[in-house]
């Protein structure tokens, strides 16, 4: 879960995920939305892959990225559980 939150901490990675909500995209197509170098984009892509927020598929020389909704749903569920737990602690005080 820590890798997920670390990946979500950077605005460029959040933008990549937002772009992928519209459907799978190639690395180059995603990179066109940013004013960042290819090595920097590669670091962002790798952080998202390490956190399992995206899946990849090779299409010739292109890498296609897709959103992994199950991991996002698990992270959101964890946050909501934490919020509920904190709210219960406030009620019992």
9-34: per-residue pLDDT in tens? Answer: 999 999 999 999 999 999 999 999 99
pTM of the model: 0.80
pLDDT band at 1 (very low <50, low <70, confident <90, very high): confident
Is the Cβ–Cβ distance between 52 and 45 less than 8 Å? no
Give residue 76's pLDDT: 74
CA distance 21 to 2: 22
Q: Tell me the CA end-to-end span of the chain in Å, nearest whole number.
A: 29
With contact defined as beta carbons under 8 Å apart, do 36 and 12 qualify? Answer: yes
- Protein fold of 2-92: Arc Repressor Mutant, subunit A (1.10.10)
CA–CA dist 4, 79 (Å, integer): 12
H helices then E strands: how many in the chain? 5, 3
């Amino acid at each position: 879960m820590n890798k997920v939150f670390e990946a979500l901490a950077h605005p460029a990675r959040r933008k990549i995920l937002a772009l992928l909500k519209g459907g799978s995209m190639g690395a180059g197509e995603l990179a066109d939305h940013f004013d960042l170098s290819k090595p920097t984009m590669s670091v962002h892509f790798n952080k998202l892959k390490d956190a399992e927020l995206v899946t990849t598929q090779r299409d010739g020389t292109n890498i296609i990225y897709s959103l992994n909704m199950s991991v996002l749903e698990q992270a959101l569920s964890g946050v909501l559980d934490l919020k509920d737990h904190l709210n219960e602690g406030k009620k019992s005080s």
